[in-house]
Amino acid sequence: MPNFILIPTSQEINGGIVMKENIKNYQVLVDESIRSVGGYWRSISALARLAEEIGELGELLLEKELDYEEVSAEMGDIFVISTCIANQYLSELDKEYKNLGYKPTIESLNEINIFKDVPTAFFNLSKYSGRIARIINHYEGDKVKKPSEIDRSIGSEVSKLHINLIALANLLGIEIFVHIKEVLSNSIKRDKDRFSISHDPITEISLDRFKSTVDNTHCIFSNTAKIWGSYEWDSNLSLEENIDNSLPSLTRFSKCADTEGLDGYVIDINEKRFTENIEGLGEALLRTLTHISKNDPKNANSMGVDLHDPNWQFSYHGVRYFITTFSPIYEKNHPRHTPFDDSVFIFLQPEFSFDHHGIHSGNEKREDVKEAIRTVFKKNGCPYSVDLVKQPIEAFKYLKPETIDGEPITWWNR
C-alpha cells in the first residue's frame, strides 16, 4: 500500500467546510510516490517514457474493440509521467490550469467536454507531447533554442497535455483520476527498493538542508522560492571535484530558470574545515566560484577579471547571479546563519529572480519592497548593514562580515 493518504473527492473539515480535491493533490501524490521508490529519472529519460506510453495508447485506440482497462492504465501512466516532468521543474499545475481557463478541481475537470471524436483528441495529445519534447531537448539535450522561438514553460505545456488527456478520457467514459491512483499504488508495490536512489536537483539532500536554514530566515519570499540543490557531497573528493558533480544540473538550471520561474540554486559544501572561521568561508566561496567560472560553457570566466569594477557581477552560462553565503560562524540572529555546524551554503540567485518578486530597477516600488524586507529582518532581531548593500562593489555583498558594523571582506584576494 502507498505510504501516503489518498485524498477523497471531497472532505469535511472544521466548521463543515467542504474541501474539493484539486489537481495539486495529485501533483503531491505523484511526488510522494516517486520519492518512495527511489526518486526521479532524468527528465530526458522521462520524456522517452512519455513518448513510449503515448505510442502505446495510440496502438490501443487503433484496435477495432477498445480494451478499456488497458486504455485506462496507459492514460494513468501518461498523466503520472508528465506530472513527474512538471514536478522536476517545480511547476504549479493548479495555477497553470487556471491560466488556461480551467478550474483545477477534479470535479470540474471530470466535466471537460471539448472533443467530439477520438482521433482529434489523440492528435492534440501528440501535439503537446511534442512541445514538451522540444523544451526538454533545449534544457537537457542537444537542440539549441532559436532566438525567434516562443518561450514555453514545462508547466504550461504539461497542463495543456493534461487537459487534452482528461478530455479524451471523459469522451471515452473513463474515470481517469481513479486510474491514476491505481497506477501509483501499483508502482509502489512493484518498484519499492527496485531502483537505486536517483539524483535530481529537487530531491537532493543539499536542498533539504538548505530549506532548514532558510526556514529560519525572515525573507518574505523564502517560503515560496523555487530552488534546486547541488549533488550530494562526497567527503572523499576535493571541493572542485564535488562541484564537477553539480555542474550539469547548474548548467541546466541556467538554461531553464527564467522560463520556468526558478529562484535559485544552492550548493552545500559539507566540509568542517570551511565552517570554522570567516577565512574558511571566504576560501570556500572563492574556490567554488572560480571553479564554476573556469568551466563556463560560454567561456565568460567572470572570476578572471577585476572584481573591484562596479559593473562586475558573477555569471555562468550567460546568466548573471547574485551570491549569498550562509555559515555556522554567524550568530543565530545574523541573516546569514545556518544551524548546520558541518556545512556552508552558497546560494546562486539569478538576476531575473528579483524581477519575479518586484525587486528590479523597472519597478517604481522597488525601494518600498526592499525596505519592507529590511524592516521584517530588523523587527525579528536580524538587522543587516544597509551601507554594505548600497556600496557599489558587488563582490563585497556576497560574503557578509560577522558583525553588522564589520568592514567589507575582500574574500577574492588570496
Using the 3D structure, point to which of 159, 191, 223 is the last residue of a domain.
Answer: 191
Q: Do 350 and 293 belong to one domain? A: yes
Query: How far apart (Å, rounded) are the C-alpha atoms in residues 27 and 35?
Result: 12
Residues near 315 by beta carbon (within 8 Å), at least 6 away in sequence: 296, 300, 302, 321
Contact 264/353 with Cβ under 8 angstroms? Answer: yes
Report if residue 87 sits inside a domain.
Answer: yes
Domain membership of residue 411 (yes or no) is: no
304 plus 170 within the same structural domain? no
Same domain, 222 and 184: no
Examine residue 404 and state whether it is found in any structural domain, yes or no: no
Q: What CATH number is associated with residue 38?
A: 1.10.4010
Range of the structural domain that residue 19 is part of: 10-191
Q: Which residues contact 85 (CB under 8 A, 6 or more apart)?
A: 43, 46, 47, 50, 132, 136, 154, 158
Residue 53: which of 135, 129, 134, 112 has the closest Cα? 129
First to last CA, the chain: 56
Please tell me whether residues 324 and 346 are part of one structural domain.
Answer: yes
For position 367, what pLDDT does the model report? Answer: 58
How high is the pLDDT of residue 390?
76
Structurally, the chain folds into a number of domains equal to: 2
Q: Of 129, 156, 191, which residue is a domain's last?
A: 191
Is 214 found in the same domain as 134?
A: no
Q: Same domain, yes or no, for 228 and 184?
A: no
- Answer yes or no: do 209 and 167 share one domain: no
Residue 405, in any domain of the structure: no
Do 307 and 159 share a structural domain? no
For 218, the grid coordinates are: 525572515
The pLDDT value recorded for residue 385 is 62
**Same domain, yes or no: 242 and 344:** yes
The pLDDT of residue 14: 44
Last residue of a domain, one of 191, 218, 239: 191
Residue 5: per-residue pLDDT: 31
Sorted by sequence, the CB contacts under 8 Å of residue 33 that are 6+ apart come out as 2, 4, 184, 187, 188
Does residue 143 fall inside a structural domain? yes
Q: Is position 286 within any domain?
A: yes
pLDDT of residue 12: 44
Complete DSSP assignment for 198-216: PP-TTT-HHHHHHHHHHTT
Predicted pLDDT at 31:
95
Do 187 and 209 have their domain in common? no
80 located within any domain? yes
User: Which pLDDT does position 87 carry in this prediction?
Assistant: 97
- 408 falls within a domain: no
pLDDT, averaged per 10 consecutive residues of the chain (414 residues), comes to 33 50 95 90 92 97 95 96 97 97 96 95 96 95 85 96 98 95 81 65 94 69 83 97 98 96 96 96 98 96 93 96 95 90 96 71 54 56 66 92 89 86
CA distance 190 to 410: 55
Q: Are residues 41 and 144 in the same domain?
A: yes
Instruction: Kindly state whether residues 330 and 235 are assigned to the same domain.
Output: yes
Torsion angle, alpha carbons of 45, 46, 50, 53, to 10: 80
Q: What pLDDT does 13 receive?
A: 44
